[in-house]
Structure 1
Amino acid sequence: MSTEAELIDEWRSLAQRYHKLACALDRALDETHGVSMNEFETLDRLLTQSTQPCDTRMQDLAGQMYLSQSALSRTVARLEKAGFVERTLCEADRRGVFVRVTDAGRELYRAASQTRLAILGSGVPENA
């Protein structure tokens, strides 16, 4: 059984490792592909975790993400402006919005996935 101090130390270590890795990934994605980690993660969820092959409701995407509803909306707006996703209204419920990844978004995702794997495979940078 771990002591309270050991649990806190484990948490701090995990958080520090995550933040270093996230910063390295965010930097590499931005420098190499011009997207943020949040934008890449949004494409990742749309392409790999969606139950529907073409369109995903924003509401369902929000349930899969760690972003707030407004942060996700801004992220999708940036991806849409860059031509990586398209948003359409739901015909059955005009309040519903669907998001679809474009061919350009799929191409970006394939390339950026290699960058993600390279960063994850290299481990946490010591001085990141």
Structure 2
Amino acid sequence: MATTQDRQLVEQWRSIQNSYFRTAAAIDRALEAKFDIGLNEFEILDLVAESVDSACRMKALGERTPMTQSAVSKVVDRLEKAGLVSRVTCADDRRSLYLELTDAGRTLHSDAAVEHRALLKENLGE
């Protein structure tokens, strides 16, 4: 039989999940409608934009998102096809790839980030 403390933990967990899924869905819908990108695409653009010199190792993207490396690669493929990012071979290690924002990617990220942050504030109450 579940204790009161166990039930409270489960309810707290469900509350966190509900908040995450509700917020993620709202952001995804808004980004799709206004910028023709989904939340996963935006998150990759955002991580690259936050990186030093706006370049990020592909491996680091997989480590900094809840997406699998395969999912990250698929998202990056879509972003590259759309002209928003480019893959660049690392000068120090030819096996490593960096991801850089293109001019179009920087512009789209800048515009979409305003919407993203506003929706975070709206949905998370800050």
- TM-score when scaled to structure 1? 0.87
**Higher normalized helix content (fraction of residues):** 2
Match of residue 70 from structure 1 = 70
Partners in 2 of 1:72 and 1:121 — Cα distance?
A: 26
Q: How does 1:1-128 map to 2 (within 5 A)?
A: 3-48=5-50, 50=51, 52-123=52-123
For the residue of structure 1 that corresponds to 2:98, the secondary structure is strand
Whole-angstrom CA distance in 1 between matches of 2:114 and 2:56:
24
Q: Using the alignment, how far apart are the partners of 2:64 and 2:47 within structure 1?
A: 7
Root-mean-square deviation over aligned CA pairs = 1.5
Aligned length: 121
Aligned AA for 2:72? L
Partners of 1:20 and 1:69 lie apart in 2 by: 25
How many Å separate the matches in 1 of 2:116 and 2:55?
Answer: 24
Report the AA paired with residue 31 of structure 1.
Answer: A
Unaligned runs of 5+ in 1: none
Q: How far apart are residue 11 of structure 1 and its match? A: 0.3
Q: Percent identity?
A: 39
SS at match of 2:53: coil
Normalising by structure 2, we get a TM-score of 0.88
Structure 2: which 5+ runs fail to align? Answer: none
